[in-house]
Each structure stands twice: as C-alpha cells, then as structure tokens.
A and B are shown apart, each in its own frame.
Chain A
Amino acid sequence: MSLLEVRNLRKSFGGVSAVADLSFELNSGEMLALIGPNGAGKSTCFDLLSGQLRADAGRVLLEGRDIATLPPQSIWQLGVARTFQVPAIFSSMTVRENVQMALISRHRAVWRFSRPASALFRGEADTLLAEVEMARQAERAVGVLAYGDLKRVELAIALAGSPRLLLMDEPTAGMAADARGALIGLARRLVRERGLAVLFTEHDMEVVFGAADRVLVLDRGALIAAGDPAAVRENQRVRDIYLGVE
C-alpha cells in the first residue's frame, strides 16, 4: 500500500475547475515533484492534501485512511507537514520559538502550564535548526530574516512534526542557486535517511529533474503526464504546453 493515494480529486471555485479528477500515488522514501504553469492548480492541490481546503469530490488516502474531510490540524497529527508558497511563520516570535511552537504541538504540550513555552524543547529545536543551517540565527526575530532563511525556518517547523509526508510548496523560491541546491539536498537526505515521502512544487526545472524520483505535470487542474524525470522531459505534450513556455 502506498503512503499517499489520491483518487479522483476535484475542486472548483465558482465554476472554474482548479483541480480536476486528479489521481496519483506516493510512496515512503520517494520524492515526487508536481509541476505545471502558473494557475495549474498546484497550490490548490497542496491545500486539498493538507486540509486547508476541502475537496468537492474524491479521496485522499493516507495509508488507506481517508483524510479528505479532516481539518488541517488532524491531518498534521497523522504525520503530514507542509510549507507554504509564501512562507507562513509566526512573526511575533524568534526563530527558535517558531520551531518550539511546532514541537509543543507535536508533543501535545499546548495545555501544559507548568513551564514557560520558551523553555520547552529547546535542544530539540536547536537540532532542527542546525539541520536547516539556521542555528546561528535562533535568537533573531523572524520578521527581520531574509526570504530564503524564512523558507528554511518553515522547513524546520514542518520537520518538527516528525512527518511521514512532507508537502513543500516552492521550497527554494527566492534563494540563490547554491542555497537551492543545499536545501534540496537536505530534503533528499531526509527522504533517504528517514524514509520520508516528499511532494514538492518547483519552478526551477534543474532542481526538479535533478532531485525528483518522479514528476507529475498539471495543467489547468488536470494531470497531463507522469513518470520518471527523463520520460516527462521527453513527453511531447509537456514540451508543448509547459516547457515550451519556460
């Protein structure tokens, strides 16, 4: 059984179809890229998988359990973490506190009043920050960080949930080329070491074809191609409507 199985997922906004009859599978230890031109429905797809939006029809099975109707917080508890296209972080907290917040939730310590939040799971937070190379900025307010650093913090937040499935929406947008490589390298390492499943969207085709095990191509909400990078790269339809545009 696959870790994630998406069957006939649909979502439309006011009659305009954003995701149409989408089906795919994703296994543990696999890195899957979701590509397509702007407005293809990638972010909507992410929102459907993580519970931010509710599908009109279709099923999202996580290890066989349908999570399509669950609220985001329940989906997170089942081991699905995500990052957003525009980083969503807690702007009134420091870098470390952002990660601590996620750890507090992960360890179900939200309703614990015995100790201040800033004293909880400090070490664990620092380990995660070290992993995304943000340890030195742990004390800084996230409001003053560079864009690329925000993405890293968001990744650390996502990882704090010890996810089995990680959804990354444009994880390297706004980063310099070498930093992109490092971040994707990190993601690959996690996939390898932890058996994590990663679904990510990405504009940089170098990154996509270098890192992904498989690639899904979306256009106007519909899946038009799927397969290993080499096959997708050769797909004529993909070339026509997507790669040609790039």
Chain B
Amino acid sequence: MDFLAVQFLTGLASASSLFLVAAGLTVIFGVTRVVNFAHGSLFMLGAYIGWSILTRLPREPGWFALGVLGAAGATALLGVMLEAIVLRRVYRAPELFQLLATFGVVLMVQDATLAVWGPNDLSLARPAWLRASVAIAGQRFPAYDLFLIGIGPLVLLALWLLLHRTRWGVLVRAATQDREMTAALGVDQRLLFSAVFALGAGLAGFGGALSLPDQSANLQMDLSAVVEAFVIVVIGGLGSLPGAYLASLLIGLLQAFGIVFVPRATLVLVFVAMAAVLLIRPNGLLGRPLAPGQITQEIRPVIRAAPTTLKWLGLACLVLAIVAPFFAGPFLLSVLTECTIAILFAASLHVMMGPGGMPSFGHAAWFGLGAYAAALAVERGGASTMVALLAAVLVPGIFAIVFGWFVVRLAGVYLAMLTLAFAQVVWAIAFQWDALTGGDNGILGLWPGGWLRSAPAFYWLTLAICVGGALVLRRAMMAPFGYALRATRDSTRRAQAIGLDPRSLRAAAFALAGAAAGLAGGVFAFAKGSVFPGYAGIGRSVDALVMVLLGGVDTMAGPIVGALAYTGLYDVLLLATSQWRFILGLAIILLVMAFPEGIAGATRRFWLRGREA
C-alpha cells in the first residue's frame, strides 16, 4: 500500500514533467495549427541553455529559479525566430506542410547543438537542496519531485489565467476558435502568432531546464520529448490545456504502475493507451470536434492527366533507369535501388495523404511489417525471394485493412497520431521481442538467391516491382476508386449524398497503401540483406512524410519527385559531409520556402502560368 502511494506520487511528478513539454505544443497547435516537430528541439535547447546558465550561477534555490526562467526566456526568443524566419512564410501552404519546415529545423538544431555544446552528456551538479528527500510512507521521496508535482498544476493555472483573464488571452482563444474571425476583427495575426510561439517555446525551454536536476542534457532528448509531447497533446485533445494535463496524469501514472505490473511492456502501454482513448473519444479527452465551419474547405488544385511533355520526360527517365546498370557502378546502382524503393514507399503514403486525405505519421509500420514478413518467411519458412515478397504484400495489407477499418473515422492529426501509435507498437515489438524478431540485432542473411544474386538483376527486379507498383497505384488513383476516394476527401457530405461509402473507400485506400508500402519494405529487406526495427521506426515514417510533402501532395508526380530528391540528397550529403544534418535541414527549409506546394506542385504552377488550373 505504501509502495503504491509512493508510486502514485512518482507518477504525478512525471506527469508534471510531461505536461510542461506538452503544454507549449498544444498552445502552438491550437492557435496556429502548426504541427511543430521542432518542439522537442526547443525542449533540448532549453536544457542545454539552462545548463550553461545554471552552471555559472550560485547554487541556491533563488538563483536556480532565476536561471530556469532565463533559459525559458532564451528559448522563447529562439521560438520567435523560428516563427518569424521560417514558419511565417508557409502558413498558407497546405495542411501539414509546416511540419516539413519544422523537421528541417530539427536536423539543423541537432548539428548546431553538437557544435556548440559538444558530444558529451552534460549534467548539472545537484546542490544538497536538490538532492533532498522527505519521508513519505516510510520511504524517501525526492523533494524535487514534490516540487514538480506542484509546478504542473501551477503552470496550468497560470496559463488558464493568462488565457481567460487577459485581453491577449481572449484574442488567443478567439484565434483558437476561429482564425478568420480574429483576422476580421483587426487583430494583427502575425504579432499574435509570434507571441504564441514565444509562449509555447518558452514553456518547452522551461520544461527542458527543469528536467536538469533529473537528467543530463543530451543529444537524444529532442526526439523522445517531441514524441511524448505529441502523444500527450493528442490524448488530451489538440489545443486543450486541461486535456493535456489530464493526459499527462494518465500517461505518468500508467508508466509508474505499468513498471510494476508489465515491466517489459511500458513502451507499448503508452501507445495502446493512446489508441484506446482515440477509439473511444476521437477528439481526445477534452478536445472538441471542429465545427463544420472550422474545417477550412481547402480548394485543392484539379488533378489532370499529365501533359504529353511530362509523359515523354517520365518515359525517358524510365529508359535511362532501365539501362543504368550498363554504365553505372555498383554504388550508384545501390543508390538507384534505394531511390526506386523510396518511390513506391512515397507513392503509397501519397495514396493516403493525397487522394485519401488521411495524413499518416506512422507509415513505416507497413514498410516494417513488409520487411519482417519477407524476412520471417525466408528465415522461418524457407520461402523463396518471390514468395517472401508476396508475404510482404499480404501481411501488411491484411493488417492495414483491419486497422484501417477502425481508424478511418478519425480525421487529421488524430488519425495521423493513431497510425504513429500503431507504428510504434510494431517498432516496439520488433525492438523488444527478441525471440521472434531478433530484436535490435535484426534478421540477417536475406540476400536474394539464384539469378537475383547479381546486382543488376536485382536492380531490374526492384525497378519492375517498384515502378510497376507505383504505376498500379497511379492507375488506381485515376480509376473510379481513386476519384471516389478524392471525392470523399473533398466533401464527405457530398460523397455520401451520391451513394459513396467513405468508410470502405478509406479502408480500401489504407489496405492498398499498406500493401504497397509493405512491398517496398520487402524489396528493401532483400536489397540490404537484413531487416531491423528501425525500418518501422519514427525516422522512417518521417522520411516518407518528407518525401511526399517535398514533392507535393496534390500532384501525381509529387511523391516520385520527392522520393528522388530526398533520397538522393540524403545519400549524397551523408557521403559528402559530416555536417549533413545541418545542410539537409537547411535544404529542406529552403525548398519549403521556395516551393510551398512541393517541388512538383510548383513546377505545375509554372507550367500552367497564365492558364486556368
């Protein structure tokens, strides 16, 4: 009993830590609708800046508080810079496009932090008062944890007062409800957004600095923080601060007690909880569904048949790709193989995000499932390469149709986060279930046999499967099915009113996309000769998102262009420079600013200049 009481308090303390990170994210999203992937980077910067300040200050509580606030202020300033320099230019871009820009920021901050603070974990020496404990139920409980337990609700209260008792807060809330209306009222939206970013970033920095007595400032904290924050924000309901606090409590306590009852499954537990909450409450615990007027009816450009020139260009590229083995060296061939696989992977996500209107943050789930299905078919079943590839289509396809059937009624970021939850569960199983998947060490020795042993032969097979697969997807999107899917996205009411069933259409799109991504994963497994949990990891999902967004969601060529651009850029930069993250991030940001409709989208605009879309 005593133990449970202490565990409860521990859960409350981690809930507060979680809330501090999530609060800023939910405030920013609520007002600007920006999915700020760089929120974890701000948290990390808060910790590093906090370390730099606090190690130079006397170690008394007052100075500590001052130092933490200083770190929060500095991070707020960085947030404003991020908003003003990068994001302000892309607010008008399609949904989620800002995510791409913030991903570029994540990459740049990683390298910048390494350059400024060095590779080692930096821990803040704790003076005695930070190490102190109090006796609770016969056990020693950290005094600092008690302080954290208090700070969460205090910050919540302060934010509530700020939002409900100040004129500025009223404007922010109005903007959360209805952006256009606020603009119509003559509020300077730019100033408002900057201020909101300052607040959100400052909260992230505050959380980062406050984490220092518990953990070191380290270079991995950005990604783990942002994923946690997303989970909290989504469970709580996007834009809802009390919701975020409730969700923090839920997750904090779940982890504290999960450790006791299912010590091996804590990772999965969090995502299962998120999935359960979203299936019962599709808008999170305290999130409100968007009123019909709030769902901005984006006018999407019309997708027309490719102009003849583009068709010839595509054909020329294909011919070039086919004859590549006659002039390309083995390394170029391996890069081309990866690019080709990326095309199918990106095209499959595009089916969901483009015509399907269903963004996915966890598309790697299907890629990973396909890779593991192929690998296990070979390793356990002794299957041939071709049979294994069939498994790589079927297994993810079946999973996708079942999963899709349940989740397609969700919309937007909620749906995206549910796919992320699924992907994380797949990843966790691959990573932790050593007996089945080989765990982190993966499954090795999957080199294709027989005639596929030669690199050109395998490359041609890859080309046939992946380009063929992408063409099949394209065909399906041009067929009545693709139109019906797009119809459902454009206007669900109208689609239903002409007899289309959104749920089966979307579930079918899920299955199609899942099967295609799985096939890409299966081919990838043989191209690399091995599979690893990372194939289903967040990084891989982000790769797919970046490719689709970079290319352009609203064109059929977008994912292809994006896959080639991103994979090519990544492969070349990784080889060329040790600062590849900084340069890749910068390149992504510049591309985002230059082509807010994606590369292919911008090309089309240029093409259609002077003509009606």
Contacts and interface: CB of A to CB of B under 8 A. Distances in A.
Interface of A: 50-52, 71-74, 76-77, 81-82, 84, 88-94, 97, 100-102, 104-106, 109-113, 115-118, 120, 140-141, 143-144, 154, 157-158, 160-161
Contacts of A104: 480, 483-484
A210 B225 CA distance: 66
B586 interface: no
Interface stretch (B31-39, B328-336, B471-479, B527-535): B471-479
Contacts of B478: 116-118
Interface stretch (B106-114, B179-187, B301-309): B301-309
B491 A89 contact: yes
A60 to B, nearest CB: 15
B480 A157 contact: no
Contact of B490 (A93, A100, A154): A93
Contacts of B299: 91, 143
Interface string B482-503: 1110110111011111111100
Interface of B: 297-305, 475-476, 478-484, 486-487, 489-491, 493-501, 505, 554, 612-613
8 contacts: A73-B499, A74-B499, A91-B490, A92-B486, A104-B480, A117-B479, A140-B612, A143-B299
B227 to A, nearest CB: 32
Contacts of A51: 496
A46 to B, nearest CB: 10
A73 B500 contact: yes
Contacts of A106: 498-499
Given A94-B302, A105-B498, A140-B612, A113 B479 contact: yes
B497 A89 contact: no
**Residue of B475, B481, B497, B612 with highest tally of chain A CB at under 10 A:** B497
A89 B495 CA distance: 8
A157 B498 contact: yes
A90 B491 contact: yes
A154 B486 CA distance: 17
Contacts of B483: 93, 97, 100-101, 104, 117
A161 B487 contact: no
B476 A113 contact: yes
B613 A143 contact: yes
A93 B486 contact: yes
B498 A161 contact: yes
Given A92-B554, A118-B478, A71 B484 contact: no
Contacts of A94: 302, 304
Nearest to A144: B612
Contacts of B475: 113, 116
Given A91-B490, A93-B490, A140-B612, A101 B301 contact: no
Contact of B493 (A84, A91, A141, A143): A84
A210 B405 CA distance: 49
A112 B479 contact: yes
Q: Which of A50, A88, A90 has the most CB of B within 10 A?
A: A90
A109 B495 CA distance: 14
Contacts of B500: 73, 105, 110
A19 B301 CA distance: 38
A103 to B, nearest CB: 9
Nearest to B492: A88
B490 A52 contact: no
Contact of A52 (B304, B305, B496): B496
A118 B305 contact: yes
A84 B480 contact: no
A187 B231 CA distance: 52
Contact of A89 (B304, B479, B494): B494
A102 B480 CA distance: 10
A88 B475 CA distance: 26
A111 B480 contact: yes
Contacts of A77: 499
B499 A111 contact: no
A88 to B, nearest CB: 4
Nearest to B482: A117
Contacts of A102: 498
10 tightest Cβ-Cβ pairs between the two chains A and B: A88-B494, A92-B300, A72-B496, A76-B499, A117-B483, A90-B490, A143-B299, A141-B302, A102-B498, A88-B491
Contact of B613 (A81, A101, A141): A141
Contacts of A112: 479-480
Contact of B497 (A76, A109, A110, A143): A76
Nearest to A161: B498
A129 to B, nearest CB: 16
A111 B500 CA distance: 11
Given A74-B499, A112-B479, 15 more contacts: A51-B496, A52-B493, A71-B496, A81-B497, A90-B486, A90-B494, A92-B301, A97-B483, A104-B483, A105-B499, A105-B500, A110-B484, A110-B500, A113-B476, A143-B301
Nearest to B500: A105
Nearest to A116: B478
Nearest to B484: A110
Nearest to A140: B612
Nearest to A82: B497
A117 B303 CA distance: 12
Nearest to A87: B494
A90 B475 CA distance: 20
A141 B612 contact: yes
B155 to A, nearest CB: 32
